[in-house]
Amino acid sequence: MGQPFFLPSPVSEKSLLLIQVGTPPDDIRAQVGDLPLWFSAVLVAGPAFQVVRVFEGEPLPRHDAHSAAIITGSWAMVTDLLPWSEATAQWIREAMARDMPLFGICYGHQLMAHALGGRVDYHPQGREMGCLDIALLPGAEHEALLAGSGRHFKANLTHMQTVLELPPGARVLARSAHDPHQVVRYGPHAVSTQFHPEFSPAVAAACIELRAQVLQAEGFDPAAMLAQLSDTPVPQQMLQRFVAAYAGQPAAAPALQAAQVPQAETILTV
């Protein structure tokens, strides 16, 4: 059984850093916008954040310029070892050496594992996609980010690559039927998820609809996948709790309906 993990009291006045490692295809952006908008909807009661689009060559800031960093998902592959991705991996290693709080998501999850000595590659059983069940592992009840989640919860997923081998010292907190590494903790201030806390049902639906023909060819039922979409309050609360702990703001309420979300400009400082 793992040791209890408690969130610190927020003390920093520095802003949050969103390391954007990709942008959606045009069809998805036309329907639901770009990644910063998705995060701003989940973190509606949270702090301002700075977006750095590393996939377009924007330089990463000094580690002491921000209180914490979120590394987003991408449409790239970690195993391509793209220059911007490898530079971000080095930045992650340096951040870990400074005990900087980090939260990686999907590509960011895999990139953290890769950066810290794990192995990432295509999942042997192929794609995982949809609003699926996540199961906590024994000991994960001590994880403050997952407090009150219950033994199972729903999360939105879409990925083909995965963490095949964990970095030294990393600990798995949750899994799915398809993937054994859904939530990973690397240290007292660093965690990552294979699933997407920032996905709303509308974002998840846009991703499924874009790939409908490919999904059918792979044996999926896109209509059934769309019918199974729902709110995912536990993943969203994980992200909100992380930001509340490290960015000096109170935690946001559980998932808000789209009509209740104000414009992204109210919290973005790009």
HSE (side-chain half, CA atoms, 13 Å) at 128: 27
Which residue of the set 106, 114, 159, 178 is catalytic? 106
Structure tokens given for 119:
């192995």
Structure tokens given for 13:
């006045």
Contacts of 73 (CB under 8 A, 6+ apart): 21, 22, 35, 105, 106, 107, 108, 196
Q: Is residue 192 within 8 Å of residue 104, measured between CB atoms?
A: yes
Q: Clarify whether 198 is annotated catalytic.
A: yes
3-class DSSP state of 162: strand
Contacts of 124 (CB under 8 A, 6+ apart): none
Residue 208's nearest CA partner among 198, 221, 194 is 221
Cα distance between residue 84 and residue 33, in whole Å? 23
Which residue of the set 131, 159, 198, 207 is catalytic? 198
Q: Clarify whether 196 is annotated catalytic.
A: yes
Which residue of the set 131, 159, 196, 207 is catalytic? 196
Q: Known catalytic residues? A: 106, 196, 198
